[in-house]
C-alpha cells in the first residue's frame, strides 16, 4: 500500500457552501471520533465552522477523504503576566484501518514544525487519552475539578445580595454582553485561551453533530451588573436533568466568568436560589474555586473529580519564558531535552529585571535538567518542579535548584482553561 501523502488546506466558504475538500476532511474526522454519520449539508455546516483553521490530512490517493486528520489555529494563550501565540490543535483522528502506521506522528510533527517556523511560542491541545501526547513533548499544564452544589444546604455567609442579575435570551445579545467580560477574564487565568466564534456558538447555543444540530433550548445566560450597571460576570447554564422526576432539577454550568469577587458570589447565589433546582454542577471548574468558602456549610459544595485539561508543548523557549512574569528575582540555567529539537539546549533564565526577564542560550553548567514535556507541565506554574523531581522527571543539578525554580514559576492564580476544544 502506497504511503499516504500529507496535505494542508483551509476551508473555503462561498455563498453559504463549503468546499468539497473540507466536507471530505470533516467526514473523516467525525468518523475517527465515532461520531454519527452526517448528511452532506451537516458536514458542510461543521466544515464552515472551521473557516480560517488549518486542516491537515493524510490522503491515500485517489480517495478525496483523508485517512488521518488534524486541525489547528492560532490563539492567544495567557501566561502569568502576559500572553503568547499558541498553535491550538484538535481533531487528531485516524481511520480505524490506518492506525499505528505513524500517520498521527507525521501530521503532528509537521504541524508543530510549521507553528514553530511561524513564531508560535507553544502548542496546546486537550486529549481523550492520558498516555498519548507526552511523546511529542506535551506536558499537562492545567486541570479542572468538578463542583456539585446541594442548593438546599447552600447558605451564603454573607446573606445580602448586591448588584443586579439579568437573564438574556437571545444568543447575539448574550454574546455582546459575555464576550467583553470573557476577554478581560481570560487574561487573568494562566492557561486560558482566546475563543473562536464557533466556540462561542457551542457555548451559547449548544448545537452540534452530537445532537443533530438542535439548539439546546434549556441554555440560559445570566449576567451580573455592579451598582454602576456594568456587566462584571456571567454564567451560561443548562438543564441536565429536568424537575419532573424528582421535583428538583440539576443545572449544569457551561461557562462562568467573572471580573470581581462580588460577581462570583452573586452569580452563585443566583444559581443556588432558583425554584425547582436541587443541584448545580460544573464539570470544568478551576482547581481552587472559592465557592465552598462562601457557604456556612462548605460541604454543601462538593469538590470532585479532577480532569486533565490543557497539554502544553513549548516551541520557543525565549519567546515563552520572556513573555511571562516571575515573582522572584533569581537566575537559573535550564538544560532542556527535546527529541524534536524546538526547545533543546541550555538556557539561562534571569528574572532580576521583573519587567523584562532575560532568556538566552548559555554554555554554563545547568542547575536543572528537564525534558520539554516537564517544562510544558511547570511553565504556567500549575505543577511544582519539586514534585516532578520526586517523580524523577526533572533533575536538580545544583542544590536547592528545583525549589528556586518553583518559586520563580509560581503563578498568581492556579492555571485554568475553561474552554473545551
Ligand atoms: C489515537 C490515534 C490518533 C493514534 O494515531 P496513530 O496514527 O495510530 O498513531 P501513530 O501510528 O502515529 O503512533 C505514534 C506513537 O504513538 C503511540 N500510540 C498511538 N496511539 C496510542 C494510544 N492510544 N495510547 C498510547 N500510545 C499510542 C504509538 O504506539 C506510536 O508509538 P511508537 O512510535 O513508540 O511506536 C488514533 O488511534 C485515533 O484516531 N484514535 C481515535 C480518535 C482519538 O482518540 N484521537 C485522539 C484525540 S485526542
Asked if pLDDT for residue 409 goes beyond 90, the answer is yes
133 among known catalytic residues: yes
Asked if pLDDT for residue 65 goes beyond 90, the answer is yes
Q: What is the dihedral of CA 195, 199, 200, 206, to 10 degrees?
A: -160
Neighbouring CB atoms inside 10 A of 387's CB total 14
DSSP 216-278: -TT-EEEEEE-TTS-EEEEEEEEEEE-STTTSSEEEEEEEEEESSHHHHHHHHHHHHT-TTEE
330 near 348, Cβ under 8 Å?
no
For the chain, what are the domain ranges? 5-125, 145-310, 316-409
Q: What is the pLDDT of residue 221?
A: 97
Asked if pLDDT for residue 219 goes beyond 90, the answer is yes
Packing angle, helices 40-48 and 20-32, rounded to 10: 100
Q: What is the pLDDT of residue 130?
A: 86
Asked if pLDDT for residue 210 goes beyond 80, the answer is no
Q: What is the pLDDT of residue 169?
A: 85
The owner of cell 434549556 is: 218
Phi/psi of residue 117, nearest 5 degrees? -65, -35
Give me ligand 1 centre to Cα 130, in Å.
Answer: 11
Ligand 1 atom with the smallest distance to the CA of 99 is: 8
- Are 5-125 and 145-310 the same fold in CATH? yes
Give me ligand 1 centre to Cα 74, in Å.
Answer: 24
Asked if pLDDT for residue 394 goes beyond 80, the answer is yes
In a 10 Å sphere around its CB, with 0-12 CB exposed, 13-18 middle and 19+ buried, how is residue 31 labelled? Answer: middle
- Which residue's C-alpha comes closest to atom 4 of ligand 1? 104
Distance of CA 126 to the CA centre of its chain: 7
| Sequence-ordered list of residues with C-beta below 8 angstroms from that of 171, at least 6 positions apart, any chain | 201, 204, 205, 221
Asked if pLDDT for residue 1 goes beyond 90, the answer is no
Neighbouring CB atoms inside 10 A of 20's CB total 13
213 among known catalytic residues: no
- Which residue's C-alpha comes closest to atom 37 of ligand 1? 99
- Which residue's C-alpha comes closest to atom 33 of ligand 1? 102
Residue of 28, 89, 132 with the most ligand 1 atoms within 8 Å of its CB, for mutation:
132
Asked if pLDDT for residue 29 goes beyond 90, the answer is yes
Ligand 1 atom with the smallest distance to the CA of 108 is: 12
299 near 138, Cβ under 8 Å?
no
The owner of cell 454573607 is: 158
**The C-alpha cell of 192 is what?**
486560558
Pairing of β 231-241 and β 358-361: unpaired
Mean pLDDT over each residue of the chain, to the nearest integer: 96
Instruction: List ligand 1's pocket residues with C-beta within 6 A.
Output: 32-33, 68, 92-94, 99-105, 127-129, 131-132, 135
Give me ligand 1 centre to Cα 421, in Å.
Answer: 19
- Which residue's C-alpha comes closest to atom 16 of ligand 1? 132
Neighbouring CB atoms inside 10 A of 164's CB total 12
Residue of 3, 100, 137, 420 with the most ligand 1 atoms within 8 Å of its CB, for mutation:
100
**The C-alpha cell of 64 is what?**
478525496
- pLDDT band for 246, please (50, 70, 90 cuts): confident
Angstrom distance (rounded) from CA 393 to CA 371 = 8
User: Which of 199-203, 210-214, 237-241 has the lowest average pLDDT?
Assistant: 210-214
CATH code linked to domain 5-125: 3.40.630.30
- pLDDT band for 16, please (50, 70, 90 cuts): confident
Angstrom distance (rounded) from CA 111 to CA 160 = 52
- pLDDT band for 94, please (50, 70, 90 cuts): very high
In a 10 Å sphere around its CB, with 0-12 CB exposed, 13-18 middle and 19+ buried, how is residue 12 labelled? Answer: middle
253 near 237, Cβ under 8 Å?
yes
Q: What is the pLDDT of residue 136?
A: 98
Class of domain 145-310 (CATH, top level): alpha beta
Q: Please state the rounded mean pLDDT for residues 100-112.
A: 98
The owner of cell 433546582 is: 277
Q: What is the pLDDT of residue 207?
A: 86
Residue ranges of the binding site for acetyl-CoA: 92-94, 100-105
Asked if pLDDT for residue 120 goes beyond 90, the answer is yes
Ramachandran region, residue 279 (left: φ > 0; alpha: ψ -120 to 50; beta: rest): beta
- Which residue's C-alpha comes closest to atom 29 of ligand 1? 100
Residue of 99, 107, 340 with the most ligand 1 atoms within 8 Å of its CB, for mutation:
99
Asked if pLDDT for residue 19 goes beyond 90, the answer is yes
**The C-alpha cell of 237 is what?**
447554564
Q: Please state the rounded mean pLDDT for residues 250-256.
A: 98
- Catalytically annotated residue among 59, 234, 326, 421: 421
- Summarised one tens digit per residue, pLDDT across range 337-381 is 999 999 999 999 999 999 999 999 999 999 999 999 999 999 999
**The C-alpha cell of 188 is what?**
487573568
CATH fold of the domain at 316-409: Nonspecific Lipid-transfer Protein; Chain A (3.30.1050)
Give me ligand 1 centre to Cα 268, in Å.
Answer: 41
- Catalytically annotated residue among 133, 138, 182, 326: 133
Q: Please state the rounded mean pLDDT for residues 2-27.
A: 93
Q: Please state the rounded mean pLDDT for residues 209-233.
A: 92
Give me ligand 1 centre to Cα 68, in Å.
Answer: 11
Q: Please state the rounded mean pLDDT for residues 228-232.
A: 97
What length is written for the chain? 421
- Which residue's C-alpha comes closest to atom 17 of ligand 1? 132
Asked if pLDDT for residue 163 goes beyond 90, the answer is yes
The owner of cell 448574550 is: 174
- Summarised one tens digit per residue, pLDDT across range 296-347 is 999 999 999 899 999 999 999 999 999 999 999 999 999 999 999 999 999 9
- Summarised one tens digit per residue, pLDDT across range 277-286 is 999 999 999 9
Phi/psi of residue 43, nearest 5 degrees? -60, -40
Q: What is the pLDDT of residue 212?
A: 76
Q: 16 vs 10, which has greater pLDDT?
A: 10
Asked if pLDDT for residue 250 goes beyond 90, the answer is yes
**The C-alpha cell of 131 is what?**
498516555
148 near 281, Cβ under 8 Å?
yes
Q: Please state the rounded mean pLDDT for residues 91-119.
A: 97
Give me ligand 1 centre to Cα 198, in Å.
Answer: 27
Ligand 1 atom with the smallest distance to the CA of 126 is: 48
Asked if pLDDT for residue 48 goes beyond 80, the answer is yes
Amino acid at each position: 500500500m502506497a504511503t499516504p501523502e500529507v496535505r494542508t488546506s483551509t476551508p473555503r466558504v462561498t455563498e453559504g457552501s463549503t468546499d468539497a475538500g473540507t466536507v471530505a476532511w470533516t467526514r473523516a474526522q467525525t468518523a475517527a471520533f465515532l461520531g454519527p454519520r452526517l448528511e452532506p449539508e451537516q458536514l458542510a455546516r461543521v466544515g464552515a465552522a472551521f473557516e480560517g483553521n488549518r486542516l491537515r490530512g493524510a490522503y491515500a490517493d485517489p480517495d478525496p477523504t483523508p485517512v488521518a486528520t488534524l486541525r489547528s489555529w492560532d490563539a492567544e494563550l495567557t501566561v502569568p503576566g502576559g500572553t503568547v501565540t499558541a498553535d491550538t490543535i484538535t481533531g487528531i483522528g485516524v481511520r480505524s484501518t490506518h492506525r499505528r502506521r505513524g500517520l498521527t506522528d507525521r501530521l503532528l510533527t509537521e504541524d508543530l514544525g510549521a507553528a514553530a517556523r511561524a513564531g508560535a511560542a507553544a502548542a496546546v491541545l486537550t486529549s481523550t487519552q492520558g498516555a498519548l501526547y507526552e511523546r511529542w513533548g506535551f506536558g499537562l499544564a492545567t486541570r479542572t475539578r468538578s463542583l456539585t452544589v446541594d442548593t438546599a444546604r447552600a447558605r451564603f455567609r454573607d446573606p445580602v445580595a448586591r448588584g443586579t442579575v439579568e437573564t438574556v435570551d437571545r444568543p447575539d445579545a448574550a454574546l455582546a454582553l459575555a464576550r467583553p467580560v470573557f476577554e478581560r477574564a481570560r487574561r487573568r487565568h494562566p492557561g486560558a485561551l482566546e475563543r473562536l466564534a464557533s466556540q462561542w456558538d457551542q457555548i451559547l447555543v449548544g448545537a452540534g453533530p452530537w445532537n443533530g444540530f438542535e439548539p439546546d433550548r434549556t441554555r440560559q445566560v445570566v449576567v451580573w451588573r455592579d451598582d454602576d450597571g456594568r456587566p462584571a460576570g456571567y454564567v451560561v447554564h443548562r438543564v441536565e436533568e429536568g424537575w419532573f422526576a424528582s421535583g428538583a432539577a440539576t443545572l449544569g454550568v457551561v461557562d462562568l466568568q467573572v471580573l470581581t469577587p462580588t460577581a462570583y458570589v452573586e452569580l452563585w447565589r443566583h444559581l443556588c436560589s432558583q425554584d425547582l433546582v436541587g443541584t448545580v454542577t460544573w464539570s470544568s471548574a478551576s482547581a481552587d474555586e472559592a465557592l465552598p468558602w462562601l457557604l456556612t456549610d462548605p460541604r454543601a459544595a462538593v469538590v470532585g473529580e479532577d480532569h486533565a485539561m490543557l497539554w502544553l508543548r513549548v516551541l520557543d523557549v525565549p519567546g515563552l519564558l520572556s513573555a511571562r512574569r516571575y515573582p522572584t528575582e533569581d537566575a537559573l540555567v535550564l538544560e532542556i531535552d527535546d527529541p524534536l529539537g524546538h526547545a533543546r539546549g541550555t538556557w539561562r533564565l534571569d528574572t532580576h529585571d521583573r519587567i523584562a526577564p532575560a532568556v538566552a542560550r548559555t554554555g554554563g553548567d545547568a542547575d536543572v535538567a528537564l525534558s520539554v514535556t516537564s517544562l510544558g507541565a511547570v511553565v504556567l506554574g500549575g505543577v511544582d518542579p519539586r514534585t516532578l523531581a520526586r517523580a524523577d522527571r526533572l533533575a536538580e543539578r545544583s542544590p536547592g535548584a528545583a525549589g528556586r525554580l518553583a518559586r520563580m514559576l509560581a503563578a498568581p492564580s492556579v492555571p485554568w482553561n475553561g474552554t473545551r476544544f
